[in-house]
Amino acid sequence: MTARIYCFANQKGGVAKTTTVVNLAAYLAAAGRRVLVVDTDPQSNATTSLGVNPRELNASLYDVLVEQMPIQQVLTVTDQLGLDLAPATTDLAGAELELARHMARERLLARALKPITDQYHYILIDEPPSLGLLTINGLTAATHGVVIPVQCEYLALEGLSLLLETIQQVREVLNDRLVIAGVVLTMYDSRTNLSQQVVQEVRQFFPNEVFQTIIPRNIRLSEAPSHGQTILSYAPGSPGALAYQALAHEFLTRQEEPQQR
């Protein structure tokens, strides 16, 4: 196998990048795929959400990107069978500056992942809320595209043109395979007209990219990370769990049978 690599990007914080990465990853693993989550955010939310304490780590993605440590040395297993993690620590906050001094500084993550692509079906990269060098590294490493989570709230599309410009630049200069693999609508509240308006707006803006599956606002999804669990183990019957399970199925259909699009 050769891993399909996706990055999950939106420079807006709090739009459910991390929630989408860890829960989609859990359901892809539950569907029998070998999955790696790569946490590139210094806030380490994906790492803690998967039950790993960044303070107890001897090495993390920082060492891989800045010190060229082989990535195999930082991979950890998670409670979910088939789901591994390349964890982040707060060290990464300083990495942007240190990376700037490296040759081919935009390709460090792509290079680091090469030796392990035959070990996974899917590699999902969780990006920080910025368009800095860490995010550029994720976009450059993504062989099968970028997934953009969009929160169903006022001004949902604001800032997206800057993200799209960045994607276009990366495509031209660093990664000509970079496509938009999908747009995920998150934190949908069926009680508000606003949520429904945003869905319409985003579908108009991205006529082919938006996933049918919409992730509802669900308290269980926000509780699971503090227990170090994915929604699949924390509350598998909750609306949030069912939504991410449906998203995983839609994702697999789209990605593994692309002729159906």
Residue 12 in contact with Mg ion, rule: CB under 5 A: no
User: What is d(CA 13, CA 99) in angstroms, rounded to the nearest whole number?
Assistant: 22
Q: Name the residue nearer to ligand ADP (CB basis): 9 or 110.
A: 9
Query: In the numeric block, which tokens belong to residue 44?
Result: 């380490």
Alpha carbon distances (Å) from 86 to 71, 112, 189: 8, 11, 33
Contacting range for Mg ion; rule: CB under 5 A; set: 43-51, 58-66, 223-231, 235-243: 43-51
Of 10, 23, 44, 45, the residue at the interface with Mg ion (CB under 5 A) is: 45
Q: Residue 215's binding partner, choosing from Mg ion, ligand ADP, none, with beta-carbon cut-off 5 to 8 A by kind?
A: ligand ADP
Q: Name the residue nearer to Mg ion (CB basis): 11 or 18.
A: 18
Residue 44 in contact with Mg ion, rule: CB under 5 A: no
Contacting range for Mg ion; rule: CB under 5 A; set: 14-22, 112-120, 184-192, 209-217: 14-22
Can you give the binding site for ligand ADP, defined by CB under 6 A? 13-19, 45, 129, 186-187, 215, 217-218, 221-222, 225, 240
Q: Residue 187's binding partner, choosing from Mg ion, ligand ADP, none, with beta-carbon cut-off 5 to 8 A by kind?
A: ligand ADP
Contacting range for Mg ion; rule: CB under 5 A; set: 45-53, 85-93, 182-190, 228-236: 45-53
At its nearest, how many Å lie between ligand ADP and the CB of residue 125? 12
Q: Name the residue nearer to ligand ADP (CB basis): 29 or 231.
A: 231
Q: Name the residue nearer to ligand ADP (CB basis): 19 or 195.
A: 19
3-state secondary structure the chain: CCCEEEEECCCCCCCCHHHHHHHHHHHHHHCCCCEEEEECCCCCHHHHHCCCCHHHCCCCHHHHHHHCCCHHHCCEECCCCCEEEECCCHHHHHHHHHHCCCCCHHHHHHHHHHHHHHHCCEEEEECCCCCCHHHHHHHHHCCCCEEEEEECCCCCCCCHHHHHHHHHHHHHHCCCCCCEEEEEEEEECCCCHHHHHHHHHHHHHCCCCEEEEEEECCHHHHHHHHHCCCHHHHCCCCHHHHHHHHHHHHHHHHHHCHHHC
Of 6, 11, 15, 17, the residue at the interface with Mg ion (CB under 5 A) is: 17
Of 18, 20, 60, 140, the residue at the interface with Mg ion (CB under 5 A) is: 18
Q: Which residues bind Mg ion (CB under 5 A)?
A: 17-18, 45
